[in-house]
Amino acid sequence: MTNIIAFLFTRQRNFSVGIGMILSLLTLNFISGLQSAQATTPQQLVQAGQTVQPSANNAPAELKNLLAQIDASASQGDINKVMQFYSPSFVHGDGLNRQTLEQSLVTLWKKYPKLRYTTQVQSWKSEGNAIVADTVTNITSLPATNSNSMVLNSTIVSRQRISGAKIVRQDILSERTLLTSGSKPPQVDFKLPQQVKVGQQYTFDAIVNEPLGDDFILGTALEEPVQANKYLNSTPVDLQVLTSGGLFKTGRAPSTPGSQWISAVILRGNGVTMVTQRLQVVK
């Protein structure tokens, strides 16, 4: 048992995490470069008479090439280059606008200066002079020499509307992010539905896979509405001693449609693991 665990038994572990910033901004960073390759814009794809198919296999080569350039561009974290590809009237499903997006990205990149992006087209279609594309983005932090550094792995599905070589709207369909720190973060199996109806009761579990033995774990679960102000403001986290091998919680969806961030934070021995998933609440 490490000294930090012994200390935490006498006091609650209190720290802050920017759950919204950690998650959805990663996708926003990816989307921000969506028009960075000017050679072929989505509008030009439509005007060129491409046959639109709701399949990634039939996505035009120009679009795939564009996404490949985006992955390389987004990893550089160049805020000036990023923001020039957003429409002044940009709208995001979480309530962000162009200004708050820029502020949030700057904050994120200071905390995670090295991120690697890999994006694939899930489906796409044309709507008038616009392209609507659903993409799957995998985002990972680059390997660090310091074993205590935070390691990030995220998978995000998003839908974006592109018109006139500018991003005019983005909506996040699903997301899950895993953050680990320390020399031996706990291996956690996180179980949560992707979608529930308004007012519906649901369960979510965060189970530590390794045997506990004589060890102890600390943890907590968090439920937050997805709101624009959450992208910049951190959430305080109080870790409690867990009497079982993980977190087993029951929640109830709000009475209005929207999105929630559901998170589990677990500390054991020489490591911390945080898992966050977006829960869609529908009618």
Measured between alpha carbons, how far is 253 from 199 in angstroms, rounded to an integer? 5
pLDDT, tens only, 29-53: 333 333 332 333 334 434 333 334 4
CB atoms within 10 A of CB 247: 23
The larger pLDDT score, comparing residue 235 to residue 27, is at 235
User: Are 150 and 179 contacting, i.e. CB atoms less than 8 angstroms apart?
Assistant: yes
pLDDT value of residue 60 = 67
pTM over 0.85: no
Domain with CATH 3.10.450.50 in the chain: 20-175
3-state secondary structure (DSSP) of residue 75: coil
Return left, alpha or beta for 33; rule: phi > 0 is left, psi -120 to 50 is alpha, else beta. Answer: alpha
What is the longest distance spanned by two Cα atoms in the chain?
Answer: 68
pLDDT value of position 78: 75
In this prediction, residues 23-28 reach a mean pLDDT of: 43
Q: DSSP letter at 111? A: H
Could you please state the CATH topology (level 3) that the domain comprising 3-17+178-282 is classified under.
S-adenosyl-L-methionine-dependent methyltransferases (2.20.130)
**pLDDT per residue as tens digits for the range 181-235:** 888 899 999 999 999 999 999 999 999 988 777 778 899 999 989 887 777 666 7
Assigned CATH class of 20-175:
alpha beta
Top pLDDT among 173 and 54 is at: 173
Q: What is the pLDDT of residues 63-76, one digit of tens each?
A: 676 677 777 777 88
Name the 3-class secondary structure at 138.
strand
Q: Which two tokens stand for residue 1?
A: 């048992």
pLDDT at 190: 94
